Amino acid sequence: MSDKHYSFFGAVERSFDKAARFTKWDSGLLNQIRQCNSVLQLRFPIKRDNGEIEVIEAYRVQHSHHKTPCKGGIRFAAEVNQDEVMALAALMTYKCTIVNVPFGGGKGGIKIDPKKYSAGELERITRRYTSELIKKNFIGPGTDVPAPDYGTGEREMSWILDTYVSMRPGEVDAAGCVTGKPITQGGVRGRREATGLGVFYGTREVCNIPDIMNKLGLPIGIENKRVVVQGLGNVGYWAAHFFQKAGAKVIALAEYEGAIVDEKGLDVEAVFQHRKKTGSILDYPGATNIKKSTEALELDCDILIPAALENVINGENAPRIKAKIIGEGANGPLTPEADDHFAKKGTIVIPDMYLNAGGVTVSYFEWLKNLSHVRYGRMEKRFTENVNSSILNQLEELTGKKSNDHARKLIMHGPDEVDLVYSGLEETMINATHEIMNAWRENPAIPDMRTAAYVVAINKVATIYAELGIFP
């Protein structure tokens, strides 16, 4: 069957059904897990700057209540539709479960092109949307916690928080109603780069697994691996940045206007600044231009990171993809047909539902910070530094050798908030990688890593239902 016969939610359901065969659970329970529990469709009017009234279409979906609150981003995009929001909410359930974050999956979307609205209009839309969610009990620190997604960021999250606080005066944990906020409003350091950093940590851990690398005929580790990244937005930029920092060669970067290639390796930050200055990544000094962005996906490389849009790799172009490892930075960049092709070929596809979970993992840390009302590191930073300093002084006295300034600074350093966030994210991604790989090893009939990830997710959600006694 051709790719076009599948909706995004249909593709998620198909992946779910593929994995469900490898579990022991009753079909009724499996059907409960795969369905969306609550779907909210909204239509509300806003006044444009020119005085015209426009009716806005918006959605919020709560896929699963096996854990509360529900969690998931809000995207502003002209293509937003109910099918897409349902699919993304379902992926959030499985994503949270795999990385052991105690949320049910949710997602929101407003059907607008944010580039066509002024800041004032966007604020009115965001605040009205938030007030509608409050009225329907679809937002709150213990109910449903939104976050940024495509087309939204810290600014929109701060409007959501302000609207919530004004309508829920005196609620002590109100800051936990939304994540991805500015630091001054209860945000957490490291949230901005979290998804891209998670993509890096997850891919690096797969590259550190000897049997996987042997199968692919690649050396262990990330160093000197040739990487192609599609999308220089928040996820793609930070993923590329951390790959380069770890010693990988980012040989190509692609954006909607085209792509650039340099076999010697691109300087990610310099390319980013070039695009900021010129409005395009094309004509970057020393690199070769590729006019069609999608052609970059077919370049010869070790690791391909599609970090832009859905369905960019499908049954038609999958046979031309040469990468040995594909790390899904975006949501749903591969269709089911592409998955089938790569499973037969032996290409490792690291699935989105786990690989881009860095955002929700660090959102979880932000939510915990908001509920505890204390910044990470505030209680222990100085204590750790004082203890480390005492140990270092004792060692220097015993050995008679003085440490150099750099070593002293490194050893004495007590963790800041961002250090603890990075550490927590690294731990999460490493553990999740091995959980998925162990499930795959235990059942060699599982065709690919995505199916193994779904098996892990299904088993965890079903176990929670069974332990609650809802489904024996």
Residues with catalytic annotation? 107
Give residue 18's identity as a one-letter amino acid code: K
**β-sheet with 249-255: strand ranges across:** 288-290, 258-261, 249-255, 226-230, 303-306, 325-327, 348-350
Give residue 149's identity as a one-letter amino acid code: D
Return d(Cα 86, Cα 332) in angstroms, integer.
13
Closest to 30 measured CA to CA, from 17, 45, 15, 41: 17
Query: Please, which residues have CB within 8 angstroms of residue 111's CB and are 6 or more apart in sequence?
Result: 56, 57, 58, 77, 78, 79, 80, 81
Return d(Cα 197, Cα 224) in angstroms, integer.
18
Query: Please, which residues have CB within 8 angstroms of residue 61's CB and are 6 or more apart in sequence?
Result: 36, 38, 39, 40, 72, 82, 85, 86, 88, 89, 106, 107, 108
For the stretch 309-316, contacts whose Cβ atoms lie closer than 8 Å and that sit 24 or more positions apart, written own/partner, are 309/231, 309/333, 310/8, 310/84, 311/3, 311/8, 311/335, 312/230, 313/338, 314/3, 314/338, 315/2, 315/3, 315/341, 316/3
What CA–CA distances, in Å, run from 414 to 372, 386, 402? 21, 9, 20
As a 3-state breakdown, the chain gives helix, strand, coil percent values, each rounded to 5, of 50, 15, 35
Query: Please, which residues have CB within 8 angstroms of residue 393's CB and are 6 or more apart in sequence?
Result: none
Return d(Cα 160, Cα 151) in angstroms, integer.
15
User: What sign results for the dihedral spanned by CA atoms 419, 329, 293, 82?
Assistant: negative
Closest to 163 measured CA to CA, from 139, 192, 191: 139
Give residue 424's identity as a one-letter amino acid code: G
CB atoms within 10 A of CB 4: 10
**Per-residue tokens: 226:** 């040739």
Return d(Cα 318, Cα 299) in angstroms, integer.
12
Return d(Cα 66, Cα 435) in angstroms, integer.
21
Return d(Cα 446, Cα 439) in angstroms, integer.
9
